[in-house]
Structure 1
Amino acid sequence: MKTLLFLLVLLASTPVAAVGAHHLDSVGQEKLGSTDFPVSCALETRGEFNQAVAMLHSFWYDEANKTFRRIAESDPECAMAYWGVAMSLYRQLWATPPTEDELREGRAALQKAKALAVKTEREQLYLAAVGVLYRGEEANYGKRKLAYEQAMAKVQARFPDDLEANVFYALALISTASPQDKTYAKQKQALALLQKVLDAVRNHPGVAHYIIHASDNPELASLGLAAARSYARIAPAVPHALHMPSHIFIRLGLWQDAADSNLAAYRAATDYARDNFPGKVWDQQLHYMDYLLYVYLQSGQRDKAEAIWREAAAIQKPHPENTTSAYALAAIPARYAIERQAWSEAAQLGIRPLAFPWEKFGWCEAITHFAKGLGAARSGDPATARTSLQRLEALRNAAKAAHNAYTADQIEIQRLAVAAWMAHADKQDQEAERLMRASADLEDATEKDNVTPGAIIPARELLGDLLLDMRKPKQALKEYKASLQRTPNRMHGLQGAEKAAQAG
């Protein structure tokens, strides 16, 4: 880890391209980062192939897909172009699995690759690895990702000096890491692989990107800071690269850095959506808006937070309708009310927009019921609180029935919190504390999803609120401090700790 920290300092100091225009007609390799993925395709396509691989590493999947397809058209014998198409359709760290249409597209691309002569063993192994992501006999998304991880382990073991094999294997490890594993074993293994590449290529977009993902937890966040400070300069053309550093900035409570990161990403995403999805709100825009709102609320910039909230409230149909857009649409109004302690306002929240297919996204719908139930319990509306609690229980049970254990646990954290504050309103304080501690302990036992900057309100911070309201300031201070260890510099946590210290 000491060696890794030294190399990360080198990464942060690497002179790379300054952030510039985000329009595709001005995108060159210097705005995507350095990649070198040797292929046996036509010599004149190799520069473009490296650009497409760089796009893959920055999760610019739509553009990577277009570029790989152009390569296939210009060099019909390039089997690896179809590998690229398949890779661009299977987004390993995204919350939403590939659609049936995307799976069909990926399988069709791989069928075309099979019909061609694959000229090297290395290319054969890469194609075999991506093929397991599209196996028809395995419907389970998680199992396919595990099979891909194992296949990439074989590629890396056979070609340990292949820098791209190390980078893609690192991503596969991160994508299958359990949110319940507090040793972060796979993340640490990924960091070791990325270190090898960082030593050779200091402005590789995948290295900076995946270091951030591997470090996106309270224990390892400091290891990602140098990568966070460099990634936007490595790949300034990519909206996601402008946003991704904020994952680390938020983990460390660096609010201005996080605001700058997401504002740049939001503007770039808006430009991209205007050119590519005219008249539609891109899901990535919503994602960056949720992060921006969170940061503005933590840094006391309520006027800017209100502007984000109003903009989100006017959105009726995002593109595409997936977990990313569903989460932001639910989280933005919930955060805006809860962080401001506007309990009556929270109790009035509804499922919006009405035309959105919320039935597909129970975890996201649960956010609204959590905020509504918490707001109702804390503003003297027990009937509304009870209705929200019942809906949270139903959504949790549906997630369990669908074998979505992580989602079920996230909803249960919220259900327990609402039940705790309902018990407190009924003057059942012993039961309220038991329920709220169970919520906090369950949240501490897992990690957040990449789709969110953080919980609508950390459960342990909410436990501090409950204890403070019960006139137990010393116990409340202990919980606030514990919460601030995991989520540094949160405004409400700091204010609660100050109140508890003064009262104690």
Structure 2
Amino acid sequence: MRPANRPVALLFAGAALLMPSLPGSAHAPAGTVELDERAIGSVQFDTSCAEQTRQSFNRGIALLHSFWFDASIAAFEAVLKTDPTCAMAEWGIAMSHWGNPLNTKRPKRSLLPGSEAVARASSLGTKDERESLYIEAVAELYRDFETTPDHPRAVAFEKAMSKIVERYPNDTEAAIFYAMALNGTADLKDKTYAQQIRAAEILERAFEEQPNHPGIAHYIIHSYDAPALAERALPAARQYAGIAPAAPHALHMPSHTFTRLGHWQDSIDTNLLSAKAAKKANSPAEVLHAYDYMVYGYLQTAQDDAARSVLDKTAAVFEQVPPDDRYVVAGAYAAAAVPARYALERGDWARAASIEPVASPAPFVNAIVYFAQGLGAARNGNLADARAAHENLSRLADTPGQSAYWAEQVDIQRAVVQAWIELAEGKSDQALASMAATAEREDATEKSGISPGPLAPARELLGEMLLQLGKPTEALAAFRATIEKEPGRFRGLFGGALAAEAAGRPELAKQYFAKLLQNCERSAPGRPELAKAKAFVAAN
């Protein structure tokens, strides 16, 4: 039986107590990092390597499943020190260098160490057929990487893992890696979520047998990381932090589900722990990833002072990321997103228009800044700056070599800015048509896991535009759709309440205002929206 769900706050308190004192660098030799099952979870991965390597190898697998890649590499290197003939340790190093399987594009230079590990594994060889299949599978991730995009290689890996599952149906680890591969190759435009649900079915069965396995809980959260599925992830989300309380990413991952469901304080609390663990592990990119989700939660609950405190630390943390590592997009994305969110979520259009660029090789990271600048300038009436930002977004959307998914996301941002420019130019009908079409485009896609949510949901912006143009009934429909998809968003609830009030729906307006006030019980002073909500609820 799966362990009973424990209260989230209790899980986090337990995680904090269990978190070991880690060395200052995640690059420390694995032997100096005393991480037992209470700290990182329990796995059993049988190999033909020397028996005395079993503990280090299983530690490496557990760390790999929690995306603690530097530490997993160190653990596999420790295996090789004991047994230099262990080809599966090189397999583990290659898997670790591949990194987050949800990453859609890796710079070629980042793939070289993994490719070299594959070559060493192949050279060492193994007489074990199962292990040979594992090595052949990881080789697919690096085959012709200089000339082939990541996605087809990831698909080849997925197919290779499916063959291992078919050949060795009792190999739970093969099934777990296969399920994650299914998530990594899923089409984010497929609203049936067929591939993610298939992965989740595999993982749910395994979770019954191995409730302390970090990878199973982790990948269930990823499998259900969509609005229509998020509720199904809640049991795993509530358990993962307690399974691997030393792993920064394990402490962060529950917030994917909490954010989807509007459980803001739970998201904040788990990311506070994640950021603390990531600092101890000397992982600034992981700190930034936690910051992005944390700030998103703070802003939805009007804890603006806390959000500002995190914002003030973000640039300095990003400076700790080595320039060659800024392709690790979650960290770079957060460094750009945190200041943009702080301005946009609070409707500070002047601040949004003046956000500074972030140094990143990823076009979609740079697009965050131009989106904030463009939307802020357009809504502040500064058409010249809005048009300049729009031009930059057009250029970034057309950047060759980026994934189709991110090119589409950037072009959606460009279209949003275009719509608000049209509104500022007095072209109301054209602006509404543009904004409505853009909302449809965004609804047809799915957010990436590196982000807690859109910088500003297109349909929510459509509602704001409709409300501004005196169309409350249509605005209410837009806000209600946003509230269903992105529950608990501050601007969605407030906009929905205003639209309901203007449309003659006072009971619905009161419902939205009351929910907003409930979410913002810890709010800092200064949000005029909350004063409006309190007055309306008191009068109705």
Fold equivalence (TM over 0.5): yes
Q: Counterpart in 2 of 1:72?
A: 80
Q: Deviation at 1:99?
A: 4.3
Q: Counterpart in 2 of 1:81?
A: 89
Distance 1:159 1:343 in 2: 57
Mapped contact 2:268–2:297 kept (Cα < 8 A):
yes
Helix, strand or coil: the match of 2:447? coil
Gaps of at least 5 residues in structure 1 are 1-6
Q: Deviations over 1:16-56 (max 9, x none)?
A: 97542243444212211111101111111111111111111
Q: Deviation at 1:461?
A: 0.6
Cα distance change of structure 1 residues 383 and 464 upon mapping to structure 2, 3 Å threshold: same
Distance 2:111 2:189 in 1: 29
Helix, strand or coil: the match of 2:499? helix
Q: Counterpart in 1 of 2:41?
A: 33
Cα distance change of structure 1 residues 218 and 205 upon mapping to structure 2, 3 Å threshold: same
Residue 163 of structure 2 corresponds to residue 154 of structure 1: yes
Q: Counterpart in 1 of 2:512?
A: none
Structure 2 length-normalised TM: 0.86
Q: Which aligned pairs between 1:48-447 and structure 2 lie closer than 5 A?
A: 48-95=56-103, 97-136=105-144, 139-273=148-282, 282-315=284-317, 317-319=319-321, 320-322=325-327, 323-352=329-358, 356=359, 358=360, 360-398=361-399, 401-402=400-401, 404-447=403-446
Q: Deviations over 1:43-70 (max 9, x none)?
A: 1111111111111111111100011011
Residue 473 of structure 2 corresponds to residue 474 of structure 1: yes
Helix, strand or coil: the match of 1:115? helix
Distance 2:442 2:348 in 1: 23
Q: Deviation at 1:239?
A: 0.5
Mapped contact 2:63–2:71 kept (Cα < 8 A):
yes
Amino acid in structure 2 at the alignment position of 1:42: A
Deviates more, 1:84-93 or 1:457-466: 84-93
Amino acid in structure 2 at the alignment position of 1:40: S
Q: Counterpart in 2 of 1:3?
A: none
Q: Deviations over 1:452-488 (max 9, x none)?
A: 1111111111110000000000100110000111100
Mapped contact 2:68–2:247 kept (Cα < 8 A):
yes
Distance 1:18 1:453 in 2: 22
Q: Deviations over 1:229-250 (max 9, x none)?
A: 0000000110000000000000
Deviates more, 1:306-315 or 1:257-266: 306-315
Distance 1:9 1:191 in 2: 18
Structure 1 length-normalised TM: 0.92
Question: RMSD value over aligned CA atoms?
Answer: 1.9
Q: Deviation at 1:195?
A: 2.0
Mapped contact 1:92–1:172 kept (Cα < 8 A):
no
Q: Deviations over 1:401-434 (max 9, x none)?
A: 3252111111111111111111111221111111
Amino acid in structure 1 at the alignment position of 2:476: L
Q: Counterpart in 1 of 2:21?
A: 23
Sequence identity, in percent? 43
Distance 2:355 2:118 in 1: 46
How many correspondences in the alignment?
484
Distance 2:331 2:276 in 1: 17
Mapped contact 2:221–2:256 kept (Cα < 8 A):
yes
Mapped contact 2:258–2:267 kept (Cα < 8 A):
yes
Mapped contact 1:22–1:238 kept (Cα < 8 A):
no
Helix, strand or coil: the match of 1:82? helix
Helix, strand or coil: the match of 2:415? helix
Helix, strand or coil: the match of 1:463? helix
Gaps of at least 5 residues in structure 2 are 23-32, 504-540
